[in-house]
Structure 1
Amino acid sequence: MPDEIVTRLDPADGTTTVALLGEVDVLTVDQVRVALEEALAARPREIVVDLSNLDFIDSTGLGALISGFQRARDAGIAFRLAHPTRPVRQILVLSGLLEVVELTP
């Protein structure tokens, strides 16, 4: 279970960062969905999902990221993933998500 999900908006450049911590799975995915909804509601120029402290993500978490990406795209907001840990990066590659969502190493 994630310790917390941190959302921060940088008004200077219009970027909202959603930092995921710990594990995202069926028990914690609702927290991720809420954080992404709040980020979208702020109408930033860009949403960055920071994965540097994420240890694991399952298919429900991937689904939440896909949904967030689609909603951002539909609203004209850039959406990218950033700094995945090695195990999370492998999951992202295997899922095919990186074929549609931009990744910052």
Structure 2
Amino acid sequence: METLRVKLRPGDGHCVVALSGEIDIGNLREVRWHLLSALEAGSSRVLVDVSELRFIDSNGLAVLVDVLERARSRGGELALLSPDERFRRTLAWAELSGTFPILESHPHDQ
């Protein structure tokens, strides 16, 4: 199993949370903590970079949905950044296609 790595890159009104490796039941608390920390730090928009994420189980998807709902309840947003085809298939399998805003690249790179 590949170790989870998390990098936070705060920006103006947003925070990129880059996740790489694997998310499963063993590291859900860490993932939730980082995502909620980005919201608590005042970022109205959390961009979750999943371009280097190799695996996420249903528990990990549930964390993303929970944080998305929390962000929206505060007038914010959680978007997925650069999901590959495998990640998109996982969303479809879990019937979550269309749940998250998806960005192909960081808005400042466009």
- TM-score by length of structure 1 reads 0.89
Describe the superposition over 1:36-93 as per-residue Cα deviations: whole angstroms up to 9, x where unpaired.
1101101213110000000010001001000110000001112111111221121012
- Give distance in 2, aligned partners of 1:71 and 1:2: 27
| 2:5 paired with 1:4 | yes
Q: What is the Cα deviation at residue 101 of structure 1?
A: 1.2
The unaligned stretches of length 5 or more in structure 2 are 105-110
Inter-partner Cα distance in structure 2 for 1:76 and 1:5: 25
Deviations 1:12-56 (A, max 9, x none): x31111111101011111111010110110121311000000001
> Number of matched residues?
103
RMSD (Å), alpha carbons: 1.3
Distance in 1, matches of 2:25 and 2:55, equals 12
Query: Conserved in 1, the CA contact under 8 Å of 2:91 and 2:97?
Result: yes
Deviates more, 1:92-101 or 1:18-27: 92-101
Over the matched positions of the two proteins, sequence identity in percent amounts to 34
Q: Structure 1 unaligned runs (5+)?
A: none
Indicate whether 1:98 and 2:102 are aligned.
no
- Give 1:1-105 correspondences, 5 Å limit: 1-10=2-11, 13-105=12-104
